[in-house]
Structure 1
Amino acid sequence: MNRLSTPWAAAMGLSAPILNAPMGGVAGGALAAAVTRSGGLGMIGIGSAGSTALLQRELAYLSDVDSPFGIGLIGWGVRVEPALLEAALASRPALLSVSFGEDWSWVERARGSGSVTATQVADLDGALRAVDAGVAVLVARGAEGGGHGQPLRGTLPLLRELLERVDVPVLAAGGIASGRSLAAALAAGASGAWIGTAFAACRESTLSDAAREAMIAADGTDTVVTRAFDIALGYPWPASMPERVIGNGFTDAWHGREHELAADHGALAHVRTAIADGDYRLAPVNAGLGVGDVVAVEPAAAVIARLCAEAWDALRR
């Protein structure tokens, strides 16, 4: 049993106040099962390119897991494919997160199915709208986070502001990849940590070995917040929600020139070929500012044990 806990984590049946972020294309059922078996809350992520069929396949990894797990969806993904929400609720997740949208009709349905509801927010206004809609848990997604989001505030300043203004549990997300950063979030009042980058490099994630190697070789200063890949791949992320990725040859060439990229069919074909070939000199790898703390490919259980032990030591000092 981990000694590190919070009242919210204990109420959710967790022995560690840690959730893996539901990263689309990265956090599948194998990672969710591994995190859940290790005392955290494992989350399956269905991203902008996901589907109901994909969710059903990933849920199979949790068929023999008795501990709580969660599912993370994208708001417009549910709007385009309503069956995603149906399939998610049918699996009885302990936590259902639907983020990046303003349709709150899912909240009452999830609550009626017995799931705790959560959503990612980037500022106080978004947090207040979510609470008014009945969302039970907020995820304070700071600008340090990898992948998509609104890069408006740092994680700890955002967390502080939300804790002063809302009465629901708040999870900290963005830049938490070490025990010290976990300790800082918990000491600031977070009910848990929503961790992406540290788990993306785990052997249970769906990333390729080459993508994991790119993460291990990178530092936070190697990341860039860009829309280049969204433009190249035709993903429907709004301009207000760019993604933080490890910079490479493609971002060097096109970041800041996205208006030109949309018309350059050769460049678009080039990056698609690189993705198919696993060539991360051009293909995207999402990573947050904590990527420098990722130095090896580990099982999720080892990541949770290390983060908790380091955080416990830091908090006792």
Structure 2
Amino acid sequence: MSDVSRLHTVVCDMLGCEIPILLAGMGGVARSELAIAVARAGGFPTLGMVREPPQLIASEVAAYRSGSDRPFAVNLIPAATDRDLLTAQMETCLELGVTIFSFFWDVVPEAVARAKRAGCTVLHQVGTLECARDAEAAGADILIAQGVEAGGHVHGRTGTFTLGAALIGKTELPVVLSGGITTGTQFAEALELGACGIQCGTAFLATHEAFAHDYHKQRLIDASAEDTVLTDAFVLNWPAGAAVRVLNNSVTKALGPTLIGHDPSGIRHEIIAHDEGIPRLLQSTDSPLRTTTGELERMPLYAGMGVGTISEIGDAGDRLQQFCIGAIEALSAQPESIQSRRSIAWKS
């Protein structure tokens, strides 16, 4: 696409990508195959290594590097990871030469400081202004503003564009928008707002390269925005009160109106599936992967509110290109004076 340079922002320079579209660090789903596809298409890839053992991190980093020499991030969740495991994860990443980390949930200053001491770039996904201030104070380089429309774990309760507008007005750090963004038009709207890019999960989950189970992918393309719910019923493995946006299933329907307020200590541990011999519990945060067998319908099927715009399982590279085409078309429809002003802002 000859006009792709129109989408260039400071985030591209900071992360070494051509297009400011970030692959969300979806745990279990965003592995090397998907990351390579996004990188080859010009976007920025993230390996979702939430609570994964160091051995898997090492093998996924190696697999990624066998298919791409472009920069990438490793996503970790310090606040939801055992301290010893987090230490081992970060040590492994640094030994492997990982130079970009993507963190999420409550800010753990020690984790940010550890990465910064090693000379790494830190992205921090936030859901509130308070968390954004904490991340900036800890030394984060880029803020990812996650709105309540996002699939998977949702940290705040403010809409993506509302939160993004508030952050852009209060920080000098580059801001990336995340949550419910599945079209090129929304990509353009994010840039028009002053954001330096977008981060996408659901749009890339519904691709051939994602490590999600085919059942999960099919449910995504069959769903509409009204089929998603926000609940903390799938909370085992995470801190109490951690809400997720998922597709409605038999578990959420059985809750009736009581979608929020579930105490993990009171949840009975019932094995409903296995993943390469590892048991998966009812109401855990584990979503079905390619390697999962069992009662997939009762597992959390993460999906953002933009899911209704996705009608087929496609290639990740093609999906990223569709984002770009749609954004360029939307931006080209603007008056020339606005185009010129925005171009200067994005590249500054």
* Both proteins in one fold, TM over 0.5: yes
Structure 2 counterpart of 1:93: 98
Structure 1 counterpart of 2:173: 168
How many residues align structurally? 311
Deviates more, 1:7-16 or 1:135-144: 7-16
Work out the CA distance in 2 between the residues paired with 1:51 and 1:73.
Answer: 11
Structure 1 counterpart of 2:322: 306
Deviates more, 1:114-123 or 1:160-169: 114-123
Structure 2 counterpart of 1:287: 303
Cα deviation code 1:52-73 (max 9, x no counterpart): 2221221122223211111110
Q: Are 2:256 and 1:252 aligned?
A: no
CA contact (8 A) 2:151 2:303 kept: yes
Deviates more, 1:90-99 or 1:118-127: 90-99
Structure 2 counterpart of 1:54: 56
Distance 1:11 1:252, change over 3 A: same
Structure 1 counterpart of 2:192: 187
Work out the CA distance in 1 between the residues paired with 2:38 and 2:20.
Answer: 11
Work out the CA distance in 2 between the residues paired with 1:149 and 1:163.
Answer: 20
Give the SS at the match of 1:289. coil
Give the SS at the match of 1:277. strand
Give the SS at the match of 1:140. strand
Specify every segment of 5 or more residues in structure 1 that has no aligned partner in the other structure, as ranges.
Answer: none
Work out the CA distance in 2 between the residues paired with 1:273 and 1:260.
Answer: 15
Structure 1 counterpart of 2:157: 152
Q: Of residues 27, 31, 42 in structure 1, which corresponds to 2:30?
A: 27
Work out the CA distance in 1 between the residues paired with 2:194 and 2:168.
Answer: 7
- Identity, % of aligned positions: 33
- Distance apart, 1:261 and its partner CA: 8.9
Give the SS at the match of 1:229. coil
- Distance apart, 1:36 and its partner CA: 1.1
Q: Are 2:237 and 1:235 aligned?
A: yes
Distance 1:309 1:118, change over 3 A: same
CA contact (8 A) 2:240 2:264 kept: no
Give the SS at the match of 1:203. coil
- Distance apart, 1:93 and its partner CA: 3.3
Normalised by the length of structure 2, the TM-score is 0.83
Q: Are 2:214 and 1:213 aligned?
A: no
Distance 1:12 1:229, change over 3 A: closer
Considering only aligned residues, what root-mean-square deviation do their CA atoms show, in Å? 2.2
* Equivalences for residues 4-43 of structure 1 within 5 A: 4-43=7-46
- Distance apart, 1:31 and its partner CA: 1.0
